[in-house]
Every structure is written in structure tokens, then in C-alpha cells.
Structure 1
Amino acid sequence: MRSVLRWLVLVAVAALALQLFFVGRIAMMAAVDPQSTAFERSEAWRLLTGADTRMRWRQQWLPYSQISDNLKRAVIASEDGSFTNHEGVDWEALEKAWQKNEKAQERAAKLAAPTKAKTPATPRPPKVIGGSTITQQLAKNLLLSGERTLLRKGQEFVLTMLLELLLDKQRILEIYLNNVEWGEGVFGAEAAAQHYFRKPAARLSAFEAARLAVMLPRPKYFEKLPNSGYLSSRASTIVARMGSAELP
């Protein structure tokens, strides 16, 4: 019994030490620009150890003031419309995403059900809609692995709360825009602006910014489809929403 209690105490101490480590890392980010994220390091390793060993990497840190307001508004309008008002988690958006995913699952189940006239089909997996905020996305990419477990999701929630507690909204958005992925080895607003439009991130037009924002959920996919009709159509929708996007 004592050995079990000893192990439980050790696990609790290790968990506490890990949280204190995260607190220290995030507190430093109030003044020190993070040089990389956990996701970036995993991508760099993947590129270095892949079949094509050429390292294709673009990233350049920009202060918040040197990133186009068009891009800030476009990303907020596309990814997290209530960014400046929530405390890290948008519960209403999560609920809507949950309901949409449930309906998608039901439709997929109906398509797969056998009927008298035909054998059961093999439908495409339903598209899973996320409700993560900008802060949650940053928490996940900064310090966590890409695995999808309840434990990792719980840690993401804790880190989200820490980011909101220790950093202001402007700093959260600044770190996000400088580290988010926009293609194969393309990270951050400046790299994306140069890669896709051959111009600085400070000079992005509203439509260019909206196209970049629409790419965020699937950047590598849209990088290969620059003439995608969906990309242009969705970008026009985001442009229309940008006027109501509130900046921190």
C-alpha cells in the first residue's frame, strides 16, 4: 500500500512540476519571442528525415505593428470571431461544432445503412468541424504533441487558461501569427506573404489576407491548389466579415 501511495505522490509531483514548467515558459513569452513551437520542431524533424532531405523552411518574426491589420482581421473573422471577448474557450462555438459533427455522423450512418434495393455503401468519413479558438490553437502548437487523447486535450485546456492569464490578447495574436503554419515549411505571416504574394506581411490587401486566413485549417492542401474555387469564394466571404472583426 505504501509503495502505491509513494508512486501516486511521485506522479502528482511530476504533474505539478510540468505545470510549473509551462507557467514559466508562458510567462517568459510576455517579453521573449518564442524561437520555435513544438509543432514546428516536429515538422522540421519530419522534413529533415523525409525522402527529400532538402530543408525548405521560411520564417521571420515580425512585431505586431508590422503585420497588416487586414491579416489580423481576416484571421479573427475566419478562425475566432469572438477572440477579443472570450477567456480562451468559446463555449458557444464548441457547442455548435458538436451539433454539426453529430448531424454529419447521422448522415454518414444513413448512407451506410443497407436497403432492399442496394447493398450498404462505403461513405466518405464525415468532415469533423472544430471549435478551437486562436488561444487553444496556440496552446496546442506551442507546447504539445500532435496526438489526440483526452489527457492531451485536458492539458491543452490548462495551457489555454495560462495563456489568457499571463499574456494579453495582442501578444497571443502576435505569437500566433508569427508561428502558425501556412504551407510546407512556411511558418508565420511574413513567410506566408512572401511565399504566396512576394510582398511583406505589412502590405497585404484585404483579399490576400483573407485567402491566407482561409488556408489555415489545411495549409499544405491549399498550397497545392492555388486556383481553388473554394479558396476564392470563401475568401470573399471572409472579406465581407472583416469589417466587424475586433482587433486587440
Structure 2
Amino acid sequence: MPRDPGRRRTSAPKGSGWRGRLRRLVLGAVLVAVLVPAVGLVAFRWLPVPITPLMLVRLAQGEGLDRDWIPLDDMPPALLRSVIASEDARFCQHAGFDWREIRNAWDNWRTEGRLRGASTISMQTARSVFLWPGRDPVRKGLEVLLTVPLEALWPKRRILEVYLNVAEWGPGVYGAGAAARHHFGRPVASLGPAEAARLTAILPAPRSWSAAAPGSHVRQRAGTIQARARSVPLGEANTPCPGS
């Protein structure tokens, strides 16, 4: 049959079809991935963090959610000293990354084939507030990227305050306030150096170790932390990194 010269071929609009939908979906995901952390970095500079990805994962797994937001001023100096001494001894000197620890971890991997952690409190805060749990390379890369603006926008005092309020301290237990109640049945402000060191000692494995009934490994770690914590300086009103 001869072709009707009056009929014109029409083509689908550019960007329609499954490729267009996929492109828009990917673009939307990228925008969300960029905007959500950007807004959070600004908002959480002053506002309490309402919930973290890890908390949501644990809730989905059937665990509870026990937490209180405790201002840094209401936390005992012994806990601040213990956490800095144990988790990030050069917290006050670095700008997010402790290159000395990173080099040590790299040398340890080359000589012993075992990679140990070199995350700072700043890196752990960025990871806890914005990222999912796990050890995959993508998450580690995002952790590094988020640490840079975190250190630029938040003072050290705020970084430590947020970390102490979102850290996991047991199954369904988050933050120092809930941790003190869970392990010792007391408010966090009443903890002394020994109890603060025991709480800090279980941070690497809070779902397996107990501060209330510590085993020999936790007791040894706590003793080391308590000794090191004595040399961590604090300014007025529990201000870490005095003079910064």
C-alpha cells in the first residue's frame, strides 16, 4: 500500500521511555544524597540529632531505642577525657584526620597483614550521623568526604557532644546518658573516672562487652584508658581543646 503523504511520523519526546525515567531516578537519588547531608551538616551544628541510620537499622531488627540527649556541660569531665584518650588522642590537634595514625595503620597492614582502625572522633561522628553501618569502600569514601565539611562547620566541642550522644553503647542503647543508666543505673553526670573508663572501654564492641560486669580484657582496657585520661586537658565548662 502506498504511503499516505499527509501522514507525518512522530517520535517520542527526548528523555521519555525507560531510559529517561532511569536518568531522572538516578539524578533524583544523587540530589537527595547530596542535599540531605548538606542540610544535616548545617542543622545539626545546633540541633540535636533525632535519629541515625544505625538506629533505624537496629529498630528494623527488632531492637529498642533507649537514648537521651545530654548537653556536653552536663557530662562528667572524666568521660570526656576517657573518650578522647581512647578514641582519638590527637583530637585537638588534627583537622579531621590523624595522619600519624593512618601511617601507623598502613605500616601495620604491610608488615602484619592486619588492618587496624585509624578513624578519628570526627570521622566516627560523620559516619554515625549520616551513613549506614558496614565496612564497604563506598561508605568509607563517603565518610572521608563528610569529615571535611564537618570539621569546617562544627567546633571540636560540638563534634564531641554529638559523638557522645549518638554512639552505640549496647543493644538499643545510644549516647552516654542512656549508657550510664543501662550499665550502672545512674545518671551520666554522677560517673567517676573508673566508671567513665569502663564505659569508654566497651565502645569498640558495645554489643558484646559489658561495662557493668567487665571481663578481664575490658578491665585491662579500662585501666589503661583511666591512666591516659589524666593527661587530657579540658578548659572551663568541659571545653575540649582549650584555646581552640
Equivalences for 1:196-211 in 2 at 5 Å? Answer: 196-211=183-198
Partner of 2:236: none
Q: Does 1:42 align with 2:57?
A: yes
Q: Which amino acid aligns with 1:78?
A: S
Structure 2: tracts of 5 or more residues without a match = 1-13, 234-239
Partner of 1:100: 108
- Native 8 Å contact 2:184 2:212 kept in 1: no
Could you list the runs of 4 or more consecutive aligned residues of structure 1 that deviate by over 4 angstroms after TM superposition? 7-14
Spell out, residue by residue over 1:93-121, the C-alpha distance to the aligned partner (whole angstroms, 9 max, x if none).
1111222233332xxxxxxxxxxxxxxxx
Q: Which has the higher contact order (CA 8 A, sep 6+)?
A: 1
Q: Percent identity?
A: 36
CA drift at 1:221: 1.2
The range that moved more, 145-154 or 77-86, is 145-154
Q: Does 1:177 align with 2:164?
A: yes
Partner of 1:227: 214
Q: Does 1:22 align with 2:37?
A: yes
Paired residues in the alignment total 219
Per the alignment, in what secondary structure is the counterpart of residue 43 of structure 1?
helix
Q: TM-score, normalised by structure 1?
A: 0.79
Q: Does 1:133 align with 2:120?
A: yes
Partner of 2:237: none
Equivalent-residue separation in structure 2 for 1:225 and 1:43 (angstroms):
22
**Which one of 69, 78, 81 corresponds to residue 70 of structure 1?**
78
Q: Does 1:191 align with 2:178?
A: yes
Spell out, residue by residue over 1:136-174, the C-alpha distance to the aligned partner (whole angstroms, 9 max, x if none).
111111111123332222111111112111111111111
- Native 8 Å contact 2:199 2:211 kept in 1: no
Q: Could you say which structure has the larger radius of gyration?
A: 2
Structure 1: tracts of 5 or more residues without a match = 49-54, 106-125
CA drift at 1:232: 1.1
Q: Does 1:152 align with 2:139?
A: yes
Q: Which has the higher helix share?
A: 1
Per the alignment, in what secondary structure is the counterpart of residue 119 of structure 2?
coil
Q: TM-score, normalised by structure 2?
A: 0.81
Partner of 1:33: 48
Equivalent-residue separation in structure 1 for 2:60 and 2:207 (angstroms):
17
Q: Which amino acid aligns with 2:228?
A: R
